[in-house]
């Protein structure tokens, strides 16, 4: 049996078995392409008012105090400070994010929930078919194994999508679109051309999703880097988007946080990475305990541009960890997590990942169409042979 035949039938069967779920994950992947930017855009009017009289930002202690006066029933957990002059200060309490003017401490409003909730719902469909409770692990297994089948489809397509003869006359109809093609010829041309152009980014998007779906794959990433897997699973959680705006809160009814000296400590943290874009301060409960700062020099989805700094109340460094200081397994796992969305390469990477997801939609659609045409043709030939057999051997 030829290699092309040996690969084609598993390729076809995998597409038929997982086609519907791959289509769903691809469509939702397209919708999630610019998730972070769309959430930020929905709050783009909540900006600090910069005027000629705005000489300096309000000390962080006073901003948090302003929040506590406006929301005495909530306990803030973290604060996000941006480097742009009109960035608002974002105070998080639980899953809620509140925006305050950096120069006056005036409350600007709570972060919009409609866009965030929409993206959360889409992400739920993308990861576990929007299942809840005990049904979620089963649903996640379906999407995970469908993703593995898609990985096989992409890898086998590396061979199947290229023609047997490597001359330009035979390659051109495969790697470029044929104008005026209709029906089966159009579907075949689109399936091959889009498969060839999307092959590399699709492979990265699909293979980087495997550790997110399966603990054994997550552990394998660490072992491949020569490290022992961590005791707790480090997959991408549903709360990541909320964490980007300040993390999870401790909720109402807990002791008030200690903000004494935060302004000076924030200034010291900003000096650690002078090209910082955001600094997230984890608000401590103890007046004498150290304070942790997450410093981001990227756009929120680039782990290689993140670092963490812990200072004592006198401003001395307790611990500093840049991306390069992490273990090889942790670095690889972080890069794979954000390679799945393309965010590791910034906006350009997100765009490439989104285009690849859109290409996957067309691949599934044309692949299913070709499979249905093949099935109809097989049934038609079978009926024709049956009719001929009856004609040649009429019943007596």
Point out which residues pair with 308 in neighbouring strands.
294, 321
Least confident stretch, 190-199, 233-242, 267-276, 318-327: 233-242
As a whole number, mean pLDDT of residues 210-218 equals 96
User: What mean pLDDT, rounded, does the chain reach?
Assistant: 89
Given this model, what pLDDT does residue 54 score? Answer: 65
The span from the CA of 54 to the CA of 51, in Å, is: 5
- Which of 13-17, 51-55, 363-367 has the least mean pLDDT? 51-55
Residue-range domain boundaries for the chain: 44-111+238-339
Higher pLDDT, 253 or 261: 261
Residue 144 confidence (pLDDT): 97
CA neighbours closer than 13 Å in the CB half-sphere of residue 124: 12
Among 136-145, 233-242, 305-314, 373-382, the minimum mean pLDDT is found in 233-242
Q: How far is Cα 174 from Cα 100, in angstroms, rounded to an integer?
A: 55
Give the three-class secondary structure for 240.
helix
pLDDT greater than 70 at residue 381? yes
From residue 90, how far is each of 4, 40, 57, 80, 83 by CA, in Å? 56, 12, 14, 5, 12
pLDDT at 395: 60
- Give the model's confidence band at 256: pLDDT under 50 very low, under 70 low, under 90 confident, else very high: low
What single-letter DSSP state applies at residue 353?
H
Is it the case that residue 247 has pLDDT exceeding 70? no
How does residue 1 score in pLDDT terms, banded at 50, 70 and 90? low
Distances (CA, A) of 111 to 184, 296, 299: 49, 21, 19
Residue 146 confidence class, pLDDT cut points 50, 70, 90: very high
Query: What band does 359 get if pLDDT is binned at 50, 70 and 90?
Result: very high
Summarised one tens digit per residue, pLDDT across range 16-38 is 999 999 999 999 999 999 999 99
pLDDT tier for residue 232 given thresholds of 50, 70 and 90 = low
| CA dihedral (72, 74, 79, 80) positive or negative | negative
| Radius of gyration of the chain, Cα coordinates, nearest whole angstrom | 27
Question: Please, which pLDDT band fits residue 387 given cuts at 50, 70 and 90?
Answer: confident
The answer to whether residue 246 scores a pLDDT higher than 50 is no
Least confident of 87-96, 281-290, 297-306, 351-360: 281-290
Which has more pLDDT, 153 or 243?
153
Residues 248 and 32: their CA atoms lie apart, in Å, by 22
3-state helix, strand, coil in the chain (%, to 5): 55, 10, 35
User: Residue 227 — very low, low, confident or very high, per pLDDT cuts 50/70/90?
Assistant: very high
**Contact (CB, 8 A) for 2 and 151:** no
User: Mean of the pLDDT values across residues 34-50?
Assistant: 95
Q: What is the pLDDT of residue 249?
A: 39
In whole angstroms, how far apart are CA 290 and each of 12, 145, 243, 311, 325? 58, 44, 20, 5, 21
CA 379/CA 374 separation, integer angstroms? 9
Report residue 218's pLDDT band, with 50, 70 and 90 as the boundaries. very high
Q: What is the pTM of this model?
A: 0.86
Q: What is the dihedral of CA 375, 377, 381, 382, to 10 degrees?
A: 20
Percent of the chain at pLDDT > 70 equals 92
């Amino acid at each position: 049996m030829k290699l092309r035949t040996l690969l084609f039938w598993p390729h076809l069967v995998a597409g038929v078995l997982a086609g519907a779920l791959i289509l769903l994950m691809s469509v939702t992947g397209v919708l999630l392409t610019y998730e972070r930017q769309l959430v930020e855009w929905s709050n783009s009017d909540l900006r600090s008012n910069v005027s000629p009289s705005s000489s300096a930002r309000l000390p962080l202690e006073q901003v948090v105090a302003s929040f506590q006066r406006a929301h005495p029933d909530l306990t803030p957990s973290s604060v996000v400070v941006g480097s742009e002059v009109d960035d608002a200060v974002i105070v998080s309490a639980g899953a809620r994010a509140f925006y305050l003017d950096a120069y006056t401490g005036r409350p600007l409003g709570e972060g919009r929930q409609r866009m965030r909730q929409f993206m959360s719902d889409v992400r739920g469909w993308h990861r576990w078919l929007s299942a809840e409770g005990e049904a979620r692990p089963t649903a996640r297994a379906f999407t995970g194994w469908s993703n593995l089948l898609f990985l096989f489809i992409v890898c086998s397509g590396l061979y199947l999508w290229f023609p047997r003869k490597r001359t330009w006359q035979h390659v051109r109809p495969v790697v470029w679109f044929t104008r005026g093609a209709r029906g089966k010829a159009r579907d075949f041309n689109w399936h091959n051309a889009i498969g060839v152009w999307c092959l590399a980014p699709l492979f990265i998007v699909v293979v980087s999703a495997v550790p997110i779906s399966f603990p054994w794959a997550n552990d394998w990433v660490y072992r491949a880097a020569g490290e022992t897997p961590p005791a707790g699973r480090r997959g991408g959680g549903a709360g990541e988007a909320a964490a980007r705006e300040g993390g999870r809160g401790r909720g109402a009814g807990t002791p008030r946080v200690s903000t004494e000296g935060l302004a000076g400590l924030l200034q010291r943290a900003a000096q650690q990475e002078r090209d910082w874009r955001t600094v997230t301060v984890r608000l401590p409960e103890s007046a004498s305990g150290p304070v942790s700062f997450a410093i981001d020099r990227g756009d929120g989805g680039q782990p290689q541009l993140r670092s963490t700094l812990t200072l004592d109340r006198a401003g001395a460094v307790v611990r500093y960890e840049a991306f390069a200081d992490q273990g090889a397994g942790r670095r690889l796992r972080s890069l794979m997590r954000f390679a799945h969305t393309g965010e590791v390469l910034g906006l350009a990477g997100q765009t490439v990942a989104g285009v690849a997801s859109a290409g996957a939609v067309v691949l599934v659609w044309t692949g299913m169409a070709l499979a249905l045409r093949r099935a109809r043709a097989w049934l038609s030939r079978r009926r024709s042979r049956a009719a001929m057999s009856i004609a040649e051997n009429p019943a007596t």
